[in-house]
Amino acid sequence: MGGKRGFGAIRRLPSGAYQARYTGPDGLRHQAPWSFATKEHADVWLAGQRTDISRGVWTPPGVPGPDEVALTFGTYAEAWVAGRDLKPRTRAHYESILATRLVPAFGKRPLDAIRPSDVRLWHATTDATKPTIRAHSYALLRTIFATAVADDLVPTNPCRIVGAGTTRRAGKTRPASLAELEVLVAAMPERLRLMVLLGAWCALRFGELAELRRMDVDLKRGIVRVRRGVVRVSTEVIVGTPKSTAGVRDVAVPPHLMSAVRAHLNAHVGAETDALLFPASDGRNMSPNSLYWHYYPARVAAGRPDLRFHDLRHTGAVLAASTGATLAELMARLGHSTPAAAMKYQHAAADRDRVIADALSRLASAPPSG
């Protein structure tokens, strides 16, 4: 948004800072070398430029004057986060990265004084044993500077380390077999068995399951409606929309689970339409730790101490892919907004099909019995 006056113009940048411009006596368009935290500060700067012109002492803006302060990375980054429409957990994650990694390294430096060599040195000496948080930190730094480039505050992005914003898991996630899943479910308390079943067969996230309510279950059509999710940020419990727009979806429940759904609704869910399917003992949204208290021993009983609860979603995705579901169908069922995540499940299903094919060949080559 821009504001025009008799002399110069002010526009608000995507970061929330303000930029001032004017036409000088040389007929050229000039821009303040720094952005301003408020519109009033930008106005004062323009008034000073106009006064210098009227007095005949004007020079093109360049080096900041004695009353001007260079826009620092810390100021810009904090405005950048504040101006973004972010999920609560994402906002908390970004603020933590800024406070613990980016601001200590770059916070007091002028935004346009940070060079590629500075970023490369910081990356080489930061969190070498924590590749995930280092990748997240670099990705946030790169994104902030991309906005600064769009704001015309820096000429180029100093974050140029190829692949530094991504990380890979140390090993592949192994989905649960149907036999393992059966043992796992049987080892859970009766009131939580359906939670495990829906997590696996419907590939639902924990936050989606913990916020499912009676009104979200359509017994006639055999679907659960995912409309909300619950997250915890520090000690605060926040109910909001799912992780992405694609997360708002209807998920068909495999027919063989519908009897378990009905039984659970009758035995463990209140009669109110907004009654939670899987409440905590106090009736509020269940916390992950409350589930893990029962889930961890159950996965040991199933012989899968490595199986995280989120891996049940992976299990369900691979099962869906093994039915021949298309990429678009997988994306819709899982609530993914981009193909990349859904593709890995198709690859996993293809790998499993190769195992099956190899086993068939072994059967064909086995000597006849008797």
Q: Catalytic: which of 299, 313, 314, 333?
A: 313
Closest CA to 313 of 190, 182, 202, 147: 202
The half-sphere exposure of 68 on its side-chain side, counting CA atoms within 13 A, is: 20
Query: Which whole-number Å values give the CA distances from 183 to 152, 177, 314, 349, in the listed order?
Result: 59, 10, 18, 22
Q: Catalytic: which of 29, 221, 284, 310?
A: 310
292 is catalytic: no
Helix axes 88-97, 131-150, angle to 10 degrees: 90
Q: Catalytic: which of 193, 205, 314, 333?
A: 205
268 is catalytic: no
336 is catalytic: yes
123 is catalytic: no
Token pair 């994104």 in the structure block, residue: 143
Q: Which residues contact 31 (CB under 8 A, 6 or more apart)?
A: 19, 20, 21, 61, 152
- String of DSSP letters for 20-56: EEEE-TTS-EEE-SS-BSSHHHHHHHHHHHHHHHHHT
313 is catalytic: yes
Q: Which two tokens stand for residue 246?
A: 């694609």
Catalytically active residues, by annotation:
205, 310, 313, 336, 345
